[in-house]
Chains A and B, each alone.
Chain A
Amino acid sequence: MMIQRARSTAWLASLVALVGLLVGGSRLSADERFPPKVLAAFREVVALPMQSTVEIYREGNSSALALGAIVRADGYVVTKASELTGSLECRLYDRRQLPAAIVGVDVETDLAVLKIDAKDLPVIAWSESDSPPVGSWLVTPGVPATRRNRAPSGDDLNPLSVGVLSVGPRKIVHQPGALGISLAMTDSPATIEEVLDDSAAEKAGLKAGDIILKVDGVDTPDREKLVKTIGSHPPGDKIDLLIRRGSEELTLEATLGSRAKIFGGDDRAEFQNTLGDRKLSERRSGFPLAIQHDSVLTPQQCGGPILDLEGKAIGLNIARAGRVESFALPAALVQETVKKLLETHLTRAGSDEPAEENAPAASDAEPAPANER
């Protein structure tokens, strides 16, 4: 009789049963948790807001980068800035797919305003009340799939995802960014002792022995100042480094990584939050105010409106942040930021190009959050 063998086998048997069940589950619905028949109960909620939701594509690509919300009838759309790359197009509810230009980016909220050449568009209706209480239903509309020769119908009209409000508005402090270097123990100057494998520093071309003089034009005369300056940027930020290597000075651009990822310690958290090969938004922290909800979204399903049961947008989905959490910026913050970006844009457009307010001045501009600091 082998000690404990029988019990171990029982565990194994139940494990197999579990795997069998889960693999058999349906992944067809947009929402990974709720089946179409549950989502169908929310059709009335999304019927109108869907028409004010857009999908944003990189030109020539068939999968969307993000969602967006129409904020002005003359072709202005708000979305999540850091997901945008390359020449952009917006796909509308009415099946049109139009070129879009970035006309403003706000780094703090990670919002971008786009301009498309269209008019008389249905504008998203924002909720005028404060954040709904914890436990409220929240509904994320998508844009119905384009099908040849027929209007969207049936499950096309379901929301993308639904969930409840998990935590009311709070500030989401950003995770510190990191280069992935270790510094020499001398205080000054800030000298690189080692460049970690596969780190932001390595990708930027930094080498052991390099002295970092400036970060984005700010002097970094010693260790402390350098560590502080780098840590004030979130992961994903691009920074310019002025370095001295031997007798020459060089400028290198680095895209910061996550401190947790580089130095370990949060491996288990990272593992669990991305379990099942699920992707999280690259920029998922560092928001002045955000509502947390439990809707299961992909990073590409962020950037669009999130609704209460009245069909009013209570905010804009801004990040998929973990297995249990999605973040949305509250409606008031989104409206305020959009207003600010539009004022800046229109003033500039007014002085530079008085004839045409909505000219796609930078038609293939990349969003450049780091450079706007």
Chain B
Amino acid sequence: MRRRPDWTSAHPGRFSTRPLRWAAVALALLSGTHWWSSSAALAVDADAAPAVIAPTDAKAAVESAVSAETVSTMPTPAEIAREEAAKESLERLFGGATPGGLSDLRAMQDHVRQLTGQLVRTTVGVTVGNAQGSGVIISKDGYVLTAAHVASRPNRDVLFLLSDGRKLKGKTLGLNRSLDSGLMKIDGVDDLPFAEMGKIDGMKLGQWCLATGHPGGYQEDRQAVLRLGRVQWISNDKTIVTDCTLVGGDSGGPLFDMYGRVIGINSRIASDIKANMHVPVSTFSETWDRLTKAEAWGHYPGDTPYLGVKGAPEATNAQLTEVKPGSPAEKAKLEVGDIVLKFGDKEITDFKSLIDAVQETQPKDRVKITVQRGEETKELTITMGKID
């Protein structure tokens, strides 16, 4: 891999400053939901799509991380012992131990200072339409992890703003709205600095972590912004909560463990300063095929589409047994006894297939529905609502 220029090097004004456009972190503020997942680590092969591999031995990783700092002269046994002790103490600290005093703080600081260049180099600003967010490069050929609400839809044009000043083009791929994970791809590159994806298994409350991103949107005179914090809460296979503070524009940026491996993607915040939510990285490996195929699925919390009808699940057609008063279905003049034949461009064969078709819409979508009412076939248009 060709080395990129150091991130600290100035890149003269290639981009015009523009008013901040904020990626829609706000959806998170309204709903404040959270998730967490655990799975095997995902590592990224340079050329091929990422493949699931065996989790790295934590101790081996610590050794490689620490040995990188040490000078390669012949160590004495005392030095070796001291080094071992230092490694162990760092590992204990990063796992959530409270720093005991200055020597612990210095050891942490030395380690973090050395790591930050790499973290900043792999963090990108992304512009999709008029939304700005962040992302992290996880392969040298340009796969970028981000948040679903930054990507918004598959196959949209993306402008990637790299730490070395490059402006590169690409597309959004798949996204899972219910977990807020999204994938993007930078076009026509194979020499990018990238971050390794970490593992979620064994993550502990109190574990130290680092977050980067472009709060307020990318600014040409400011590198990706570093934050340090600890894991506050790991929830229900869906969300990592940390006290690495986040704000609009950070969405899609990475949460790293103390060895620089991506463990989460910045997603949303609640009012407590310690409530900063990240998508667990494991979901990307679990849904990698769907993401690379540019599929979009799921619904943002608070954005579940709503039709307002009931049917008999065991029936051999989608005949409506109830139309909820005031619902989108009633407003569209659907009636009890109607048999739904078509929903949008989907053929409806039973009530289950109607549920599936509804799930693929978003609130406010306008959908054409074909129903059989007695002898008649009618076409109606419905505006989808959402479940409060």
Contact B269–A272 (Cβ < 8 Å) = yes
The docked-state distance in angstroms from the alpha carbon of A14 to that of B309 is 26
Contact A32–B29 (Cβ < 8 Å) = no
Contact B228–A41 (Cβ < 8 Å) = no
Query: What distance in Å separates the Cβ of A41 from its nearest Cβ neighbour in chain B?
Result: 4
User: Lowest 5 CB-CB distances: which A-B pairs, in order?
Assistant: A276-B271, A135-B112, A41-B99, A135-B116, A22-B272
Report chain B residues within 8 Å CB of A38. Answer: 98-99
Report chain A residues within 8 Å CB of B244. Answer: 294
The one of A15, A33, A37, A292 in contact with B33, judged by C-beta atoms closer than 8 angstroms, is: A15
Q: Which residues of B contact A (CB under 8 A)?
A: 8, 19-20, 22, 25-26, 29, 31-35, 98-102, 104-106, 108-109, 112-113, 115-116, 120, 215-216, 221-223, 225-229, 233, 235-236, 238, 241, 243-248, 250, 269-275, 299, 301-302, 304-311, 313, 324, 351, 354-355, 358-359, 387
The docked-state distance in angstroms from the alpha carbon of A75 to that of B291 is 64
Contact B387–A309 (Cβ < 8 Å) = no
Report chain A residues within 8 Å CB of B311. Answer: 1
Report chain A residues within 8 Å CB of B233. Answer: 21
Shortest Cβ distance from A37 into B: residue: B98
Q: Is A60 an interface residue (CB 8 A)?
A: no
Contact A18–B19 (Cβ < 8 Å) = no
Q: Is A79 an interface residue (CB 8 A)?
A: no
Report chain A residues within 8 Å CB of B104. Answer: 41
Q: Is A266 an interface residue (CB 8 A)?
A: yes
Report chain A residues within 8 Å CB of B221. Answer: 170-171
Query: What distance in Å separates the Cβ of A267 from its nearest Cβ neighbour in chain B?
Result: 9
The one of B216, B274, B355 in contact with A25, judged by C-beta atoms closer than 8 angstroms, is: B274
Report chain B residues within 8 Å CB of A2. Answer: 308, 310, 324
Q: Is A57 an interface residue (CB 8 A)?
A: no
The docked-state distance in angstroms from the alpha carbon of A171 to that of B106 is 29
Shortest Cβ distance from A21 into B: residue: B233
Q: Is A278 an interface residue (CB 8 A)?
A: yes
The docked-state distance in angstroms from the alpha carbon of A296 to that of B243 is 11
Contact A22–B225 (Cβ < 8 Å) = no
Report chain A residues within 8 Å CB of B270. Answer: 18-19, 22, 275
Sample of 23 A–B contacts (CB below 8 Å):
A1-B310, A2-B310, A3-B305, A3-B306, A3-B358, A4-B355, A7-B299, A11-B31, A11-B33, A15-B33, A25-B274, A32-B273, A33-B243, A33-B274, A41-B104, A134-B113, A134-B120, A135-B109, A135-B116, A265-B19, A272-B29, A275-B269, A294-B228
* Number of interface residues, chain A, beta carbon within 8 A: 57
Q: Is A327 an interface residue (CB 8 A)?
A: no
Report chain B residues within 8 Å CB of A15. Answer: 31-33, 301
Known: A3-B358, A14-B238, A41-B99. A25 touches B272 (CB 8 A): yes
Report chain B residues within 8 Å CB of A294. Answer: 226-228, 244-245
Report chain B residues within 8 Å CB of A32. Answer: 273-274
Tell which of B25, B225, B250, B324 has the most Cβ of chain A within 10 Å.
B225
Report chain A residues within 8 Å CB of B269. Answer: 272, 275, 323
Report chain A residues within 8 Å CB of B247. Answer: 269, 272-273, 322-324
Report chain B residues within 8 Å CB of A276. Answer: 271-273
Contact A266–B20 (Cβ < 8 Å) = yes
Supplied contacts A167-B223, A322-B215, 13 more A-B pairs, CB within 8 Å: A1-B355, A4-B387, A7-B299, A14-B35, A15-B32, A22-B274, A22-B275, A38-B99, A137-B105, A272-B269, A294-B245, A309-B102, A323-B269
The docked-state distance in angstroms from the alpha carbon of A3 to that of B22 is 32
Contact A269–B98 (Cβ < 8 Å) = no
Query: What distance in Å separates the Cβ of B368 from its nearest Cβ neighbour in chain A?
Result: 18
The docked-state distance in angstroms from the alpha carbon of A294 to that of B215 is 12
Contact B307–A3 (Cβ < 8 Å) = yes
Contact B309–A41 (Cβ < 8 Å) = no
Contact A309–B245 (Cβ < 8 Å) = no
The docked-state distance in angstroms from the alpha carbon of A276 to that of B274 is 11
The docked-state distance in angstroms from the alpha carbon of A33 to that of B19 is 30
Q: Is A45 an interface residue (CB 8 A)?
A: yes
The docked-state distance in angstroms from the alpha carbon of A15 to that of B358 is 24
